[in-house]
Amino acid sequence: MPRLVLTVIGDDRAGLVNALADVVTAHDGNWEDSQLAELAGKFAGIVVVGVPAERVDELTAALNELDGLLEVTTHPGAEVDAVPDDTSPDSSPDSASQRLTLDLLGNDSPGIVREVSSVLSRHELSIETMTTGTREAPMAGGLLFEAHVVVRVPAKSDTGALRADLEKLASELLVDIAVA
């Protein structure tokens, strides 16, 4: 079954997810995965839907009719096989990898995401999920920046060198980075 990756954005208000879900369901689509959030008064997200091949164009056209409520962009995603092939040693991107979780907390300053993502990129790591935010610093005033990042680490990676680079970065940025 074909999968579509939908990016959505609109002014935040009640009923946006319902409107999107109604269109997906009306076209025999299956809501498979999503990451949705309110950010700075906007509702934004990414949704993966499975849809019968003969309904893809119809669903895409109907999603475009949500303009004014939500702007939806559709992108083709990977199709799902009915029966996974487990005979190949590399049958999934995760077959020879592990996941590491990074939690960062420190005073907010420009460039933190760039610096952390630069270290991850140098180690050829893929970010699976990343959640960031700011909050008021208790007692001290100002803003704290926090991030929760899950990365996929190939088996060939030197996790010791990665941890050393992240510790060095934490010291330079004056933030705490916990790796689990």
pLDDT tens sequence across 36-91: 999 999 999 999 999 999 999 999 999 999 988 999 999 999 876 544 444 333 44
Dihedrals φ, ψ of 167, to 5°?
-65, -40
pLDDT at 140: 75
User: In which order are the strands placed within the sheet that holds 71-77?
Assistant: 30-39, 42-50, 3-11, 71-77
Burial of 131 (0-12, 13-18, 19+ CB in 10 A): exposed
Mean pLDDT over each residue of the chain, to the nearest integer: 90
Angle (CA) 155 157 159, round 5°: 110
**pLDDT tens by residue, 106-139:** 999 999 999 999 999 999 999 999 999 999 998 8
For 3-14, what is the mean pLDDT? 96
Lookup: tokens for 162: 């990665």
pLDDT score, position 95: 60
pTM: 0.76
> 51 with 1: CB under 8 angstroms?
yes
